[in-house]
A and B are shown apart, each in its own frame.
Chain A
Amino acid sequence: MLLDVADLEVRYGRTHAVRGVSLSVAPGEVVTVLGANGAGKSSLLKALAGAVRPAAGRIWLAGQDITALAAPDRVRQGLVLVPEGRQILVSLSVRENLLMGAYCRRDAEVGRDIDAIYDRFPNLAARRDMPASVLSGGEQQMLAISRALLARPKLMMLDEPSLGLSPLLVSRLFGLIGELNREGLAILLVEQNTRMALRAASRGYVMELGRVVLDGPAEKLANNDALAAAYLGGH
């Protein structure tokens, strides 16, 4: 397995956000974590990225125990998180945002990788020297994902990337997720857009109040009546 998580617990003071979550992601796999607001999905991703220290549990990346590593060291090991709400660095230019993505790299290919990003997203290329704050919501999401790509990750974690995007941009975003995955990138996707997420993923986990209550292949989850009633109902 590329990522293995065993019995992870996250607490904020008296709040118990993640209660004994175990999950795994294979190399080249897309795995989704579903659940309502407050289920502990974001806390889980933050703990995996090292932004929050877990109260208990272990995390392995490519067989190596990374539980004790600080966030920058996890980035170096190939684990990146695109946080919720896009979170671009607004006073930096588009190019500087991309450079920050490659912050942990010392190799000479950063420039070439940035050019590849510009080829993939002509909108970013056209605005490369402008402050990132002038980008539209969709462009900001592309920038946030591009920035994470520049770290050359083995596993990219995305926290609700479709939040606040128009339906057209959401389908373009999932197109990009599929494209990146076909290029070999493993993705751990937290989503509220359950239908799209299950279509993109091969497996899924459903969280409720900090626990994994259901997991299995994506098609099976998509046809699960209980899940449909809880999260897909009305659509």
Chain B
Amino acid sequence: MSGYWAGILAILAINIIFAYGIFITAAAGQLNLGGAGFMAIGAHAAAVLGEQLGWTPAQTVPAAVAITACVGIAIAFPVLRTRGVYMVLATFAFAQVVTGVILTQPALGGAMGLVVTEYVDLPVLLLAAAGTTLLAFWLMATRFGLALRALHDDELVSTLMGVPARAMQVGAFAIGAGLTGLAGGLYAHHFSFVEAQYFNPLLSIYVLLFVLIGGTQTAWGPLVGATFFTLVPELLRVGGSWRYVVFGAIIVAMMMFRPEGIVTRSLVDRLFSRRRPAPDAG
């Protein structure tokens, strides 16, 4: 495999994990535009623990997941008091605070960034992406996943059915943040360098787009969305600078023709349940 495609695959694996982190909360109806902030926490946690304490990636990456998940729980309580566009703004502001703190703290790399010496190779990234995908599919098939989808539809009705709404939302936020931390930790160890500037608002916007354009109704959405957004710009590379124009047009077209995302529940049903009788047979 050429170095070029290995690089693309590494980005793809990290994007898939990152997208599932945002998806878990989006499935419950909460939009997190602070993805880059959570990923920055995971990446810098792994970098600092590895460089300052000499931990191996087998220790730093789980620690990065745990730290980011704890930050997710702490941030969930104030953020979940907000609704709709205000939640989007609150998570966005959180990410800005995170990068702001990193930039002012030399111990965290400041504006110079941190070199990460321990290297994690591509197969580990692919394995982690596959594991995350399976975890997301499993979660969405459980009672917890059903409750998240019910909360997405109607919080009041879900509560009246006995769903502890706040606990579920905080749980989703914690799992989502943990996965973003995983993406960050793996990013740090694979690319051997982290700097706050990489975790900018554009990254948060992109990952939210992966999820929304992929579709939030099923666990297929983030996988398809992240793959699409990672590979299509590369495939359009032959078009030179026109590729951004074409790519933008594709995004607008998708939002017009598939507002619920590329993969919807009815599409999955049509693809996978051939046993169902034709509508006129009943």
Using a CB–CB distance below 8 Å, which chain A residues touch chain B? 49-51, 70-72, 75-76, 80-81, 83, 87-92, 96, 99-101, 103-104, 126, 129, 131, 147, 151
Contact = CB atoms under 8 A, between A and B. Distances in A.
B146 A100 contact: yes
Given A91-B265, A92-B149, A129-B276, A83 B162 contact: no
Contacts of A87: 154, 156-157
Interface of B: 143, 146-147, 149-150, 152-154, 156-164, 217, 265-266, 269, 273, 276, 282
A178 B160 CA distance: 23
Q: Which 4 A-B pairs have the closest CB atoms?
A: A104-B162, A75-B162, A89-B153, A72-B162
A156 B71 CA distance: 41
A50 B163 CA distance: 12
Contact of A91 (B147, B149, B160): B149
B8 to A, nearest CB: 33
A88 B160 CA distance: 12
Contacts of A96: 146, 149
Contact of B156 (A80, A83, A103, A126): A83
Contacts of B158: 89, 100
Given A89-B158, A91-B152, A99 B146 contact: yes
Contacts of A101: 161
Contacts of B160: 49, 51, 71, 75, 80-81, 83
Nearest to A72: B162
Given A89-B153, A91-B149, A72 B143 contact: no
Nearest to B155: A51
21 contacts: A51-B160, A72-B163, A72-B164, A83-B160, A87-B157, A89-B149, A89-B153, A91-B149, A91-B152, A91-B153, A96-B149, A100-B161, A101-B161, A103-B143, A103-B163, A104-B161, A126-B282, A129-B273, A129-B276, A131-B265, A147-B161
A21 B162 CA distance: 25
A214 to B, nearest CB: 29
A151 B161 contact: yes
B162 A71 contact: yes
Nearest to B216: A91
A103 B159 contact: no
A79 B214 CA distance: 39
A102 B217 CA distance: 22
B282 A92 contact: no
Contacts of B265: 91, 131
Contacts of A49: 160
A121 B149 CA distance: 25
A50 B217 CA distance: 29
* Most interface-central of B143, B146, B147, B157 (chain A CB within 10 A): B157
